[in-house]
Amino acid sequence: MKVALHGLTLKAEFIRDVKSLFQALQQHHMEVFVTEQFDRQLRMHGNIGLNYWLLDGSDDMSQMDFLISIGGDGTLLDSVCQVGELETPILGLNTGRLGFLATVATDKIHEAVQHLGENNYQVEKRSLVSLDCNRRLFNGLNFGLNEFTIHKRDTSSMITVHTYIDGKYLNSYWADGLIVATPTGSTGYSLSCGGPLISPEAKNLVITPVSPHNLNVRPIIVSDESEITFEIEGRAEKFLISLDSRSTSISSDLKLMVKKENFHARLVKLPSYNFFDTLRYKLNWGFDMRN
């Protein structure tokens, strides 16, 4: 079995956990590969006596049985970009904070690797949002697991986002921005802007305004078979768009269309994982300081 490791940062406090992960993988006779980004992080700490192969592009990635994301949810989002349409299963080891996506705690490393070795896991298919544009953006990585966002830039003034569903006019949002989130992304930026929580297997997208001028404008859930197009107006000449944590500046003359991507992100879920348990724990549902 071949396993790739990916991480964007590696704090000294997690070196022991990384060593424990390598030890567990080797005990189960798994070949360990690392991405260039994670290799740089390991070298910053002197390689800490670990043996591994360096991944060389998509050809090597296509041979991997799993990718283990080491970090928080942001690292896992970047891992989705590393994998792309190969759909290599991704397991998230949480060395970050919230951990809606990176669900394996550092004290469960050996248990998690044992489940992988024994094929005792499930793979959840998570839908992705895709951006079509009349200009090449994001170096061709025009998909995201969480959301696509339009934002104002370099001004305190609102922008107007004229929005259409399958060519039919929906609304003109006077706001700081607009989010189109997947069910996975419903627990992210969209949630902080008042959007609803959506079960991961739901076949929907949610359109959520960011600080709308009209208080009666609310998030709306639409089918993920929809094609959503936008026209942007504002006092500034440039606007900001993003896919997950990647952003770029655009002008209003670009044609933007968002829809569901043709491939999926495949997230490894261990036997102890339950989405609703995660919701209750991360959002402190039922927690009362008085009890």
User: What would the DSSP string read from start to end of 133-151?
Assistant: ESS--GGG--EESSEEEEE
Please tell me which of 66-70, 236-240, 270-274 the model is most confident about, judged by mean pLDDT. 66-70
Beta strands per DSSP E along 83-217: 90-94, 122-133, 143-144, 147-151, 159-165, 168-175, 177-181, 204-210
Tell me the mean pLDDT in the region 119-130: 96
Question: What is the C-alpha end-to-end distance of the chain, expressed in Å?
Answer: 48
- Each residue of 116-137: b (16+ CB within 10 Å) or e? beeeebeebebbbbbbeeeeeb
Catalytic residue among 56, 59, 60, 73: 73
Running DSSP on this structure, what letter comes out for residue 197? P
Quote the pLDDT of residue 47.
63
Running DSSP on this structure, what letter comes out for residue 154? S
Q: What is the mean pLDDT of the chain?
A: 93
Answer yes or no: pTM beyond 0.75.
yes
Residue 271 has pLDDT above 90, yes or no: yes
- The number of CA neighbours under 13 Å toward the Cβ of 184 is 26
* Banded model confidence at residue 197, pLDDT cuts 50, 70, 90: very high
CA dihedral 38, 42, 44, 45 (to 10 degrees): 150
Quote the pLDDT of residue 48.
67
Quote the pLDDT of residue 123.
96
Contact at 8 Å (CB) between 230 and 161? yes
On the 0-12 / 13-18 / 19+ scale of CB atoms within 10 A, 99 is buried
Of 1, 186, 5, 166, the closest CA to residue 100 belongs to 186
* Banded model confidence at residue 237, pLDDT cuts 50, 70, 90: confident
∠ CA 130-163-149, nearest 5°, is: 45
Of 239, 232, 178, the closest CA to residue 206 belongs to 178
* Calpha distance 198→88 (Å, rounded): 24
What percentage of the chain exceeds 90 in pLDDT?
79
Residue 13 has pLDDT above 70, yes or no: yes
CA dihedral 18, 20, 24, 30 (to 10 degrees): 30
Tell me the mean pLDDT in the region 50-68: 90
Contact at 8 Å (CB) between 1 and 68? no
Of 230, 249, 131, the closest CA to residue 182 belongs to 131
Catalytic-residue membership of 73: yes
- What's the gap between Cα 254 and its chain centre? 25
* Calpha distance 101→93 (Å, rounded): 9
Residue predicted with more confidence, 238 or 146: 146
Residue 96 has pLDDT above 90, yes or no: no
What are the residues whose beta carbons fall under 8 Å from the beta carbon of 80, sequence distance 6 or more? 90, 128, 143, 144, 145, 244, 265
Residue 31 has pLDDT above 90, yes or no: yes
CB under 8 Å, gap of 24 or more: what pairs does 165-171 form?
A: 165/222, 165/226, 165/227, 165/228, 166/226, 166/227, 167/227, 167/229, 170/207, 170/220, 171/217
Quote the pLDDT of residue 166.
97
